[in-house]
A and B are shown apart, each in its own frame.
Chain A
């Protein structure tokens, strides 16, 4: 299995607070990994480090044979490193269709065109219609994002991520804020992705973690303290102590 993304000894602190401590992991082709850990463990910070939002104070990230630590955010995206945001960051004053269309056009390298009508380009429209339909958002295509409910906005985060055809997809709590009966759409969307890409999902909802992940990483106080199968994670003593507690008990009693 080829390694798509690798973290080597990554550290980061904010004003004396070590938020990321010597983190090492690999994402290989076909990976479906859950990253879990208590609030404030540094999960989002780790994603910010991977995507280049913030720079590590020590360590590197590699994609294949390339050290990407020094690359800018857009350069990393162009290599297939794509994320969604825990707190939605969308083009709020544009329509849902435009939000997804921009991602598609950027991927297809046609976003510099200056004379064709953006959203209605047939090859672009076919794609965003399909993505939106799968997420049950098609009826909202021409609504401004700012007018939508928060749960719907969360799904647009995912739609943009999908539109970029990622090689490595980092999902930061994609289900948070999404109404419970719509959450399965997220798993459906992930299941439709090409099998060979790597997906890392930060998620608190253990039900979702168990359905999604074949591997679980546990982060506590900035350190990766466990790596293993979803079944093992609930059994691991240290993880339970650090974090799981109630979730594990709930599953056992269920």
Chain B
């Protein structure tokens, strides 16, 4: 039986061992990208930005069971906010991340307050509506957002006043990677906290949760706020490192694509979100370059295979293998 929760079983070893392992894994993968694919750093930086959005989606969909096809709104609002702030003179990259974080949080709280009032199909439809509303506004408020041309000329200052953004995306990549590591470690902690665990409980059975005294709605709205923060950081990072923000960052396609990535990797697990992003984005990058006309067909095929052979995402078999190994290790 594949079994993701066992990873939460008692591992009375070094405190923060899981967090350290998580950080090191991401750093190692990041180093592979940096040294082996120096020409693709711009792409890999975009990948990391999207990873934030998929992680964010995982928080509401994988951990809380909220169905949404409008999640790009949180990401896009973060990106636009950071971009606009930068053009208007706030150029410190870390401050811009803060701007994205705050904007994403606010957007998350608003979306959550609307979307989690409902369940099932109405919830899904509402999430699309919220996403479309934000996309519509991004297009209409062209004095602020640049409309269909998007925002360009975003020129952030140096990170900590030392590392300037370069045309090879080296700084952008390393900065994004560092922020991802920090965010990921914090999230690892967060999803195992009482709050995070309760969200998984609500996803399993909300009547049971009510019957132990939990008010569901405020919890879900709060979780949406956290998810918004994560997505907002991703949006801001993308704005900072690419220098442009376009309507694609709030589009329905973006929302749908990240849902596909999450399902691909495995919802309900942070590693699933990361794995899904990496596999989907690289697949798209490689196949689209080789065969620009049929890459969507290939993606479709890949998805069908995954859903048939690994319905709980690619991460599930990996996790159950890991569990078996650690169980054996303990028995020995």
Contact = CB atoms under 8 A, between A and B. Distances in A.
Interface size class of A (residues with CB under 8 A): 35 or more
Contact of B9 (A53, A89, A118, A142): A142
A110 interface: yes
A113 B195 contact: yes
Interface stretch (A5-13, A91-99, A199-207, A223-231): A91-99
A147 B1 contact: yes
Contacts of B204: 90-94
Contacts of B197: 94, 98, 101-102, 118-119
A111 B212 CA distance: 11
Residue of A91, A107, A142 most packed against chain B (CB within 10 A): A91
A212 to B, nearest CB: 22
A103 B212 CA distance: 6
B332 interface: no
B212 A102 contact: yes
A106 B211 contact: no
A112 B211 contact: no
Contact of B211 (A51, A117, A119, A142): A51
Contacts of B190: 114-115
A62 B33 CA distance: 65
A58 interface: no
A60 to B, nearest CB: 21
Interface string B172-216: 000000000000000001101111111011001101111111110
Given A117-B193, A118-B192, A73 B205 contact: no
Contact of B193 (A85, A113, A164): A113
Nearest to A147: B1
A171 interface: no
Decide if the interface of chain A is mainly helix, strand, loop or mixed.
Answer: loop
Contacts of A188: none
B207 A89 contact: yes
Contacts of B211: 51, 73, 77, 82-83, 85, 89
Contact of A106 (B6, B189, B205, B213): B213
Interface in A101-131: 101-103, 105-107, 110-121
B5 A77 contact: no
A147 B323 CA distance: 15
Given A77-B212, A98-B8, A89 B205 contact: yes
Given A113-B194, A118-B197, 18 more contacts: A51-B211, A83-B211, A85-B211, A90-B205, A91-B201, A91-B208, A92-B204, A93-B5, A93-B204, A98-B8, A102-B197, A102-B212, A103-B212, A114-B195, A114-B196, A115-B189, A117-B192, A117-B193
14 contacts: A83-B211, A94-B200, A98-B8, A101-B197, A102-B194, A102-B198, A102-B209, A102-B212, A105-B194, A106-B214, A111-B195, A112-B194, A115-B193, A147-B1
Interface of A: 51, 53, 72-74, 77-78, 82-83, 85, 89-95, 98-99, 101-103, 105-107, 110-121, 142, 144, 147, 160, 164
Interface of B: 1, 3, 5-6, 8-10, 189-190, 192-198, 200-201, 204-205, 207-215
